[in-house]
């Protein structure tokens, strides 16, 4: 029975979540592009690659925009959170090894201690965003239950993964929760507000294009 | 509520490891000399338990010999380290060695639906 559970979560469900993520992402980006072409053509005609990249560059470098400098703590947390969120799963030894076993390809991996610290950074980031949502009036006003749910969904694979990595009691359950919540998180990216991962280059690129090409102004 | 009860039951069941009915002497530590630096705790391997297991046909299931890529039917490699054949000085050599260990142990556990398959079930900190 246990082997069946482990097999399902680490076999077919991995594929299902990857396909949902990849196909869902393509669908969201293309359907949004078609919608823009049909209903909001200005977005496409104003798009300018130079201004777009200039804006994206200023917003992916910490403190390169006025808004980021005005909120130094939020900027530090947001950057460290996102960097650790994306890099830790890709360069975790345990993950690299599983891919090595399946496909016989491998790449560089993080020392365990660094990976632990990066995982804790993600969890700490979630707690920071949680408290921020609860106490800052302007954020609280825009918050509903789904925001807390999405925060929990991000924290789940990292918290359970950290738990399992420390070999704390309930290891087997922690690992099953880790795998399952990771799959749900990955599959949910295209279909929830996590889709900002897909749309960021386009929304930022458009803002940069409009400010650079039309208003002749900086947007950072 | 049901979910919580199920998870609780899972926790209890998954924590109950079958008692190992052999003395410490029958449990070997897999400590291949090619692993200069351990990234995970070395595996405590119940060798005797595997030796008497009827689902394992012969010692050569693990202690196999290949010559020019062909399996030698009555050959065995008892007393040799896996790395004597499965390790060659090149990039990714350690990952390749880890891979063959994992495929041999975990691969069989998956096929037989018996024995540990999660990382920390073999690489135990205690």
B70 pLDDT above the threshold of 70? yes
A153-208 per-position pLDDT tens digit:
999 999 999 999 999 999 999 999 999 999 999 999 999 999 999 999 999 999 99
Which of B95, B103, B118 is closest, CB to CB, to A172?
A: B118
Is residue B92 very low, low, confident or very high in pLDDT (cuts 50, 70, 90)? Answer: confident
- Other C-beta atoms closer than 10 Å to the C-beta of A131 total 10
Assess if residue A78 is contained within a domain.
yes
Q: How confident is the model at residue B24 (pLDDT cuts 50, 70, 90)?
A: low
Within the 12-31 window of chain B, which residues sit less than 8 Å (CB to CB) from chain A? 13-15
Average pLDDT over all residues of chain B: 85
Give tens-digit pLDDT for A44-70: 889 999 999 999 999 999 999 999 999
Residue-wise pLDDT tens digits, A65-98: 999 999 999 999 999 999 999 999 999 999 999 9
Q: Could you tell me the domains of chain B? A: 27-51+80-122 (3.90.10.10)
Interface of B with A in 41-80 (CB under 8 A): none
Place of tokens 């400590």: B31
Residue A197 in domain:
yes
Burial of residue A186 (CB within 10 Å: 0-12, 13-18, 19+) is buried
d(CA B31, CA A82): 38
Tell me the three state secondary structure of residue B11: helix
A94-140 per-position pLDDT tens digit = 999 999 999 999 999 999 999 999 999 999 999 999 999 999 999 99
The verdict on a CB contact (< 8 Å) between A167 and B92 is: no
CATH number, domain at A56? 1.20.950
Please tell me the predicted confidence (pLDDT) of residue B125: 85
Give the chain B residue whose CA is nearest to the CA of A3.
B113
Q: How many domains does chain A have?
A: 1
**Total residues belonging to chain A:** 220
- Residue A113, both tokens: 């201690």
Instruction: Read off the pLDDT band of B126 (50, 70, 90).
Output: confident
Q: Is B10 in contact with A173 (Cβ distance < 8 A)?
A: yes
Query: Whose structure tokens read 């196909």?
Result: A23
Among A residues 13-42, those touching chain B with beta carbons less than 8 Å apart: none
Taking contacts as CB-CB distances below 8 angstroms, the residues of chain A near B114 are 3
Which one of B16, B110, B120 makes the best mutation probe of the A interface by having the most chain A beta carbons within 10 Å?
Answer: B120
What local confidence, expressed as pLDDT, does residue B15 receive? 60
Structural domain contains residue A219: no
- Tens-place pLDDT, residues A189-200: 999 999 999 999
Give chain B positions within 8 Å (CB) of A97.
Answer: 95, 98-99, 102
The number of beta carbons lying within 10 Å of the beta carbon of residue B105 is 19
Residues 6+ apart with CB under 8 A from B37: none
Tell me the β-bridge partners of B98.
none
Other Cβ atoms less than 10 A from the Cβ of A82: the count is: 14
Under 8 Å between Cβ of A174 and A168? yes
Q: Inter-chain contact A170–B15, Cβ cutoff 8 Å?
A: yes
Instruction: Look at residue A220 and tell me if it is in a domain.
Output: no
> In angstroms, what separates the C-alpha of A212 from chain B's closest C-alpha?
48
- Judging contacts by C-beta atoms under 8 Å, the chain A residues touching residue B92 are 106
* Nearest alpha-carbon partner for A174 in A117, A119, A102: A119
Q: What is the pLDDT of residue B20?
A: 46
pLDDT category, B19, cuts 50, 70, 90?
A: very low
The per-residue pLDDT for B74 is 84
> Across the interface, do A7 and B110 touch by the CB < 8 Å criterion?
yes
Q: Nearest CA of chain B to the CA of A122: how many Å?
A: 23
Please list every residue in chain B whose beta carbon sits closer than 8 Å to the beta carbon of residue A176: 10
Radius of gyration, alpha carbons of chain A? 20
The SS3 assignment for A53 reads helix
The stretch A9-24 carries a mean pLDDT of 97
* CA distance, residue A157 to nearest chain B CA (Å): 16
Angstrom distance (rounded) from CA A108 to CA A93: 8
For the ranges A114-118, A145-149, A173-177, B19-23, which has the lowest average pLDDT?
B19-23
The residue ranking higher by pLDDT, A158 or B6, is: A158
Angle formed at CA A36 by CA A34 and CA A42, multiple of 5 degrees:
140
B14 closest CB neighbour out of A2, A7, A112? A2
Q: How confident is the model at residue B73 (pLDDT cuts 50, 70, 90)?
A: confident
Q: For residue A27, give its domain range.
A: 2-214
Percent of chain B with pLDDT over 90: 54
Please report whether residue A12 resides in a domain: yes
């Amino acid at each position: 029975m246990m082997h069946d559970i482990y097999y399902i979560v680490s076999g077919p469900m991995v594929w299902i979540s990857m396909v949902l993520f990849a196909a869902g992402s393509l669908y969201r980006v293309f359907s949004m592009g078609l919608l823009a072409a049909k209903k909001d053509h200005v977005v496409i005609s104003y798009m300018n690659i130079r201004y777009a990249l200039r804006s994206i560059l200023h917003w992916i470098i910490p403190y390169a925009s006025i808004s980021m400098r005005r909120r130094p703590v939020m900027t530090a947390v947001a950057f460290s959170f996102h960097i650790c969120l994306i890099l830790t799963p890709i360069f975790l030894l345990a993950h690299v090894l599983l891919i090595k076993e399946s496909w016989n390809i491998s790449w560089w991996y993080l020392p365990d201690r660094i990976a632990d610290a990066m995982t804790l950074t993600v969890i700490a980031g979630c707690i920071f965003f949680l408290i921020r949502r609860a106490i800052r009036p302007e954020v609280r006003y825009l918050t509903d239950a789904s925001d807390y749910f999405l925060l929990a969904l991000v924290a789940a694979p990292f918290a359970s993964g950290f738990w399992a990595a420390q070999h704390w009691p309930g290891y087997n359950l922690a690992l099953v929760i880790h795998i399952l919540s990771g799959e749900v998180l990955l599959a949910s990216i295209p279909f929830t507000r996590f889709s900002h991962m897909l749309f960021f280059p386009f929304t930022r690129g458009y803002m940069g294009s409009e400010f650079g090409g039309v208003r002749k102004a900086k947007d950072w | 509520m049901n979910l919580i009860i199920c998870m609780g039951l899972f926790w209890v069941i998954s924590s109950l490891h079958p008692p190992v009915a052999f003395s410490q002497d029958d449990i070997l530590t897999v400590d291949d000399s090619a692993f200069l630096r351990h990234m995970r705790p070395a595996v405590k391997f119940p060798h005797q338990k595997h030796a008497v297991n009827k689902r394992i046909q012969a010692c050569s299931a693990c202690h196999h010999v290949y010559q020019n890529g062909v399996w030698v039917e009555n050959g065995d490699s008892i007393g040799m380290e896996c790395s004597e054949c499965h390790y060659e000085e090149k990039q990714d050599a350690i990952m390749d060695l880890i891979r063959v260990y994992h495929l041999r142990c975990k691969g069989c556990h998956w096929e037989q639906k018996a024995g540990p398959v999660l990382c920390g079930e073999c690489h135990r900190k205690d």
